Chain A
Amino acid sequence: MNNPYLPLPMRIERVVIENDARDLKTFDLAFVNDSDRKGFQFLPGQFAFLSIAGVGEAPFGIASAPHEPLIKFTVKRVGVFTTALHELEPGAIIGMRGPWGNFYPLELMTGRDVVIVSGGFSFTTLRATIAHLLLPENRQNFGKITAIYGARSPGELLYKDEIRQWEKSPDLQLVLCVDRLNGADWPKREGLVPNVLKEVAPPAANAIALVCGPPIMIKYTHPVLKDLGFKPDQIFLSLENRMKCGIGKCGHCNIGPKYVCKDGPVFSYSQLLNLPPEY
């Protein structure tokens, strides 16, 4: 029986504490069975459920790119499941099922500039996207890549090692910002993501914008993109809703007649204009 509820066994290979508050951790997972690795094909933007027997399961965006050997998830400790996950150490076996949902419109992005706008720990699937686009064999397919990534404070920025490399990369313009400094030593920008986006002002002509962040950031980012000349079908957003099944059956994640797990999580802004504001 091809059972979409059956999790694949995964071994935690590495755990990285991402932030000063120590409530964000990145888990690098390896497939216990080689055959599962071959069957797990995904693209940036998709998500999967992580599962701990006796505790439950929860969905998370896949933070690794398809070419990376380990499957990466960055998880904030907020509830019962995430707390149990945070307590696990390398070597522990957990479950994973997926990949579910659609992905960023890579085909549409081909031959165009790409503008990536992200805030907070929603950066995960956009991290996957950047890693995917920067692969030498993929890089030539895209124009200028601009990424604006903001966090509350310098200590809340994810993937610090990679960010250091990306900052040096001629293939990517990476703009980092923090909401407020509170006296911290930070040589880069201070300001909210939408304001920084306005300052950076990437050209909209022949570009696709990918946006992922908390609802409040999404709300204030759209008017800026609009002013910069981005049309609704040039803007793609990754949404989150409560979900239990991942295959459009349990009902929880509906936005009107669409399910975030099956019809999303990536929606174009023009699609969202035709849906009720239930996200």
Chain B
Amino acid sequence: MKKYLLTRQELSQLLDRLAKETNLYAPVKDKTGATWGKVKNTAEVHLEEVNTREPAKGFIFPRCEVLLRFDQKGNALEPEPPEEQIVFGIRPCDARAIAFLEKFYTIEGKTDPYVKARREKTTFIGLACNRTAPTCFCLALGGSPHDATGMDLLLTDLGDLFLAEPLTAKGEKLIAGYPEAKNEHLTAGAKLRKKAEAEIPLRIDTAKLQEVLPKAFASKIWETLALNCVNCGACTFLCPTCHCFDVTDETVRGSTVRCRVWDSCQFTLYSRHASGHNPRLDPRARYRNRVMDKFYYTVEQAGVISCVGCGRCIIACPANIDIRTTVERLLKEFPEE
């Protein structure tokens, strides 16, 4: 697809216009780095961090969302449809996760209408990573710091200029009228991509992982891998692809709503039956489920590994568990036959 050029000032003007016309979200500064916030002008946008503390999944799958409202007679009513929103500054790992969620929530004819409607109303303007964090490992899983999967428009910061690659009609619309990039700009972008990719040394043989994981299920190795896990669930809440939710009714001042909220397979109650029987009572079984889900189950379900290598689970883990180490250990302990 063709690529276009914007000056830094033109990008600011574009964002200022979008902030006036619609709901514009972007990384903003907070006490510990960057988080997602609704912005009124470009000055509020904070792109100094490699990534936001929270993933961008909440834009299509909010942490808490009203599924239904009930009237006084108990009749269930659907909520108002979501508003248009533009998300600026999403990184390639998070956008890849959006593509996964979109696929997962719409597979096999059983579509989640809430996620679908939100994705349709959302435009993702991505920003390629020219630098990476020590916890980044997108490249190991088929992604890249300059990957465009899941975005509507991808921007690459060339310094004074931004290279803009529209991926969808929504992206095309945003970039209409700007001049086309020349070869020298494309070369500069490719150079930055190569440099960023070189910063991520880890490689994982993902094809081999598909053979190893089913074999490793019953292994005692999980006792070692999950020894420190306290099942706090931080990894799952900060994971851009974790899709589990709980459904709960709330009544506030006589008004009743049915909400869904993020849930975590790391919690004891997550899989407990009404009878009290719990198929994953053991903390090790719960850690194993998370790893198996990311690297094996979602491949069976949606055809893709659902870890995008953003590294948030590594940063957030209070027990210093590193999912990269887990995967490397599994590959090492179960060599090819």
**Which residues of A are in contact with B by a Cβ distance under 8 Å?**
1-7, 9, 51-58, 78-79, 82, 93-95, 214-215, 240-242, 244-245, 247-252, 254-257, 262, 276-279
Contact = CB atoms under 8 A, between A and B. Distances in A.
B274 A78 contact: yes
B217 A53 contact: no
A193 to B, nearest CB: 17
A5 B273 contact: no
Nearest to B264: A251
Contacts of B285: 278
A56 B249 CA distance: 5
B263 interface: yes
Contacts of A257: 296-301
Contact of B104 (A6, A95, A249): A249
A54 B256 contact: yes
Given A249-B243, A262-B110, A58 B249 contact: no
B44 interface: no
Given A3-B113, A257-B297, A241 B273 contact: yes
Interface residues of B, number: 52
Given A1-B78, A250-B244, A250-B245, A53 B110 contact: no
Q: Which of B67, B104, B244, B280 has the most CB of A within 10 A?
A: B244
A266 B273 CA distance: 17
B186 to A, nearest CB: 40
Contacts of B246: 244, 250
Contacts, number: 124
Contacts of B76: 6-7, 9, 51, 53, 95
B272 A57 contact: no
A256 B74 contact: no
7 A-B pairs with the lowest CB-CB distances in the bound complex, closest first:
A251-B244, A257-B300, A53-B70, A257-B297, A53-B74, A247-B110, A278-B279
A251 B243 contact: yes
B277 interface: yes
A278 B258 CA distance: 29
A56 B251 CA distance: 11
Nearest to B75: A9
A252 B244 contact: yes
Interface of B: 67-68, 70, 73-76, 78, 104-105, 107-108, 110-114, 117, 217-218, 243-249, 251, 256, 258, 260, 263, 265, 270-275, 277, 279-280, 285, 289, 292-293, 296-301
Given A214-B275, A249-B110, A244 B70 contact: no
Contact of B108 (A5, A79, A248): A248
A61 to B, nearest CB: 13
Contacts of B105: 249
Nearest to A240: B273
B67 to A, nearest CB: 5
A56 B260 CA distance: 11
27 contacts: A2-B113, A5-B113, A5-B114, A6-B76, A52-B74, A53-B258, A54-B70, A54-B74, A56-B258, A57-B247, A58-B274, A79-B274, A93-B74, A214-B275, A215-B277, A244-B245, A244-B247, A244-B260, A245-B245, A245-B247, A249-B105, A249-B245, A252-B263, A257-B297, A257-B300, A278-B289, A279-B279
Contacts of B70: 53-54
Nearest to B244: A251
A215 to B, nearest CB: 6
A91 B107 CA distance: 39
Contact of A54 (B251, B274, B296): B251
B73 A3 contact: no
Contact of B248 (A3, A5, A56, A79): A56
A254 B107 CA distance: 16
Contacts of A93: 73-74
Contacts of A78: 274-275
Given A7-B76, A9-B75, A53-B76, A252 B113 contact: no
B179 to A, nearest CB: 41
Nearest to A56: B249
A188 to B, nearest CB: 26
Nearest to B72: A53
Contacts of A250: 244-247, 260, 263
A94 B75 CA distance: 9
A256 B297 contact: yes
B105 to A, nearest CB: 6
A247 B112 contact: yes
